[in-house]
Amino acid sequence: MEVRVNGLAGPVLSLELGAGEAEHTLVLDVRRRAAQALGKPLREVQLLASSGAPDTVSVRKLQDSELVGPLTPVGSGILDLTVLCLDPQRALAMEAVREDWKSLASMSEELQADREVVLLAVSAHGWALQFASKALQADREIVLAAIRTSGFAFGFSAMELRHDRWLVMEAVKAGGAALQFATENLWEDREVVLTAVESSGRALRFAASPLRADKQVVMVAVQNDGSALEFAASHLKSDQEVVLLAVSSGGFTLQCAAEALRAHREVVLPAVAAEGQALRYASDELRADREVVLAAVRADGNALRFASKSFRSDRGIVLAAVRSCGLALASASDALRGDREVALAAVRSNGRALQLGVRASLRGDVHLQLFTRMSANVIVDLTLHRFLDIIPQVLIV
């Protein structure tokens, strides 16, 4: 087959491709040959193809990754292409935004108003929309390209587009927080808000009050991000089903629950099992509950400091805490900080516990010092458990 490339002044290039060769030849290959024939940099040369009947002809820019074969009209062995030579400055700008979208910020107003340059930039990163001209920030196609890479880019669009429901839906699909940039009437749109909180639970903060009181909407939000409970209506913070779903996504969400539920064992246990230090938000009664405290310190030893003070002298609780985090030893009673087994467990977990938590009388203990050195130097290359396998059992009293 033959590929013919024509310019405004006449023929530029003719390529003869052998049988099967067209199926493997890229538009990029032809574009390179055309640039060589014209003596221009590759960035200044574009190839266009036309299709359709003479009275309905359409022209489009070809992509480098396209194959030449499928572009050839059926039953014809000839593919006619048109070469377009770009202004050198414009070509440089297009190359620049392909490599770094932020380069649009330092370009001339003319280039920031160039549709093709801006489209390339926002397709790379939606935030480039902030550097586009006012006219292009109001261009629906440009804005759509921007929000498909970053929903937050909707915040750089023109105000007249903020009421466009379809565009808002596309924005919140990409990033729920884009809901904040929509007009307030869309904050009351249940479908829009549901789409937003499915994408980002904390987008619930931008929903209208009736939807923040809608249990289904809130359930979707807290399932995505438990901390979205903060923005739910008060009565839903007292709803055990909602709060349980929220704390399963993040234990610290317990702080947003109603006081009655923070005293509810079935709610607090999964919360502290997920985030030990969520114990700080439990009721005084549950911070004195051994099962709850044990679950918390197993998840994060540092939760010991939020437990009832009586547990600081509870050997089982303290051992569980220091095995989780050696530095939790600092919250133990003076007596347990002088307990060799407890101190050894703490130092095995974190060598810094020797100086920060172990009672002074034990700091000279050779075994404790050994584990301190292990923690500081050896765990870089070996996990603690692998290393312990080669330590003589006599050292692990």
Mean pLDDT value of segment 57-76: 86
Q: What is the pLDDT of residue 325?
A: 86
CATH number of the structural domain spanning residue 68: 3.10.20.90
Q: Does one domain contain both 48 and 105?
A: no
Q: Does one domain contain both 77 and 143?
A: no
Q: What is the pLDDT of residue 139?
A: 97
Contacts of 262 (CB under 8 A, 6+ apart): 254, 268, 281, 282, 283, 286
Q: Does one domain contain both 80 and 94?
A: no
- Quick check: 280 pLDDT over 80? yes
Per-residue tokens: 157 = 């669009």
Mean pLDDT value of segment 161-185: 97
For the chain, percent of residues with pLDDT exceeding 70:
87
Q: Does one domain contain both 34 and 94?
A: no
Residue 277 falls inside a structural domain: no
Q: Does one domain contain both 78 and 92?
A: no
Residue 217 falls inside a structural domain: no
**HSE-CB for 87 with a 13 A CA cutoff:** 8
Domain boundary, last residue among 86, 114, 140: 86
Residue 225 falls inside a structural domain: no
**How many whole angstroms separate alpha carbon 394 and alpha carbon 389?**
12
Q: What is the pLDDT of residue 390?
A: 40
**How many whole angstroms separate alpha carbon 268 and alpha carbon 172?**
33
Full residue range of the structural domain in which residue 316 is found: 308-397
pLDDT tens digits, one per residue of 334-387: 888 888 888 888 888 776 656 664 555 554 544 444 454 454 443 333 344 444
**What Cα–Cα distance (Å) separates residue 49 from each residue in 5, 23, 122, 316?**
10, 17, 25, 77
Q: Does one domain contain both 66 and 121?
A: no
Q: What is the pLDDT of residue 360?
A: 52
Q: Does one domain contain both 312 and 395?
A: yes
Residue 72 falls inside a structural domain: yes
Q: What is the pLDDT of residue 351?
A: 65
Beta-bridge mates of residue 2 = 16, 78
Q: Does one domain contain both 32 and 77?
A: yes
Question: Would the CA dihedral through 167, 173, 174, 175 be positive or negative?
Answer: positive
Residue 255 falls inside a structural domain: no
pLDDT band at 66 (very low <50, low <70, confident <90, very high): very high
pLDDT band at 155 (very low <50, low <70, confident <90, very high): very high
pLDDT band at 54 (very low <50, low <70, confident <90, very high): low
Residue 166 falls inside a structural domain: no
Average pLDDT, the chain: 87
Q: CB of 117 within 8 A of CB of 41?
A: no
The residue among 348 and 303 whose pLDDT is bigger is: 303
Pairing verdict, β 2-7 and 45-51? unpaired
- Which amino acid type is present at position 121? A
Distance from the first to the final alpha carbon of the chain? 84
Domain boundary, last residue among 161, 178, 199: 161
Q: Does one domain contain both 59 and 100?
A: no
**What Cα–Cα distance (Å) separates residue 108 from each residue in 89, 117, 121, 366?**
10, 12, 14, 70
**How many whole angstroms separate alpha carbon 111 and alpha carbon 115?**
8
The domain total for the chain is 3
**What Cα–Cα distance (Å) separates residue 58 from each residue in 4, 55, 85, 289?**
18, 9, 19, 75
Residue 36 falls inside a structural domain: yes
pLDDT tens digits, one per residue of 21-53: 878 899 999 999 999 998 989 988 999 998 766
Q: Does one domain contain both 75 and 120?
A: no
Q: What is the pLDDT of residue 353?
A: 58
The residue among 189 and 58 whose pLDDT is bigger is: 189
Residue 191 falls inside a structural domain: no
pLDDT band at 134 (very low <50, low <70, confident <90, very high): very high
Q: What is the pLDDT of residue 218?
A: 98
Domain boundary, last residue among 161, 184, 202: 161
Q: Does one domain contain both 363 and 374?
A: yes
**How many whole angstroms separate alpha carbon 378 and alpha carbon 162?**
57
The residue among 358 and 7 whose pLDDT is bigger is: 7
Q: What is the pLDDT of residue 333?
A: 86
pLDDT band at 20 (very low <50, low <70, confident <90, very high): confident
Q: CB of 250 within 8 A of CB of 274?
A: yes
pLDDT tens digits, one per residue of 210-260: 999 999 999 999 999 999 999 999 999 999 999 999 998 889 999 999 999
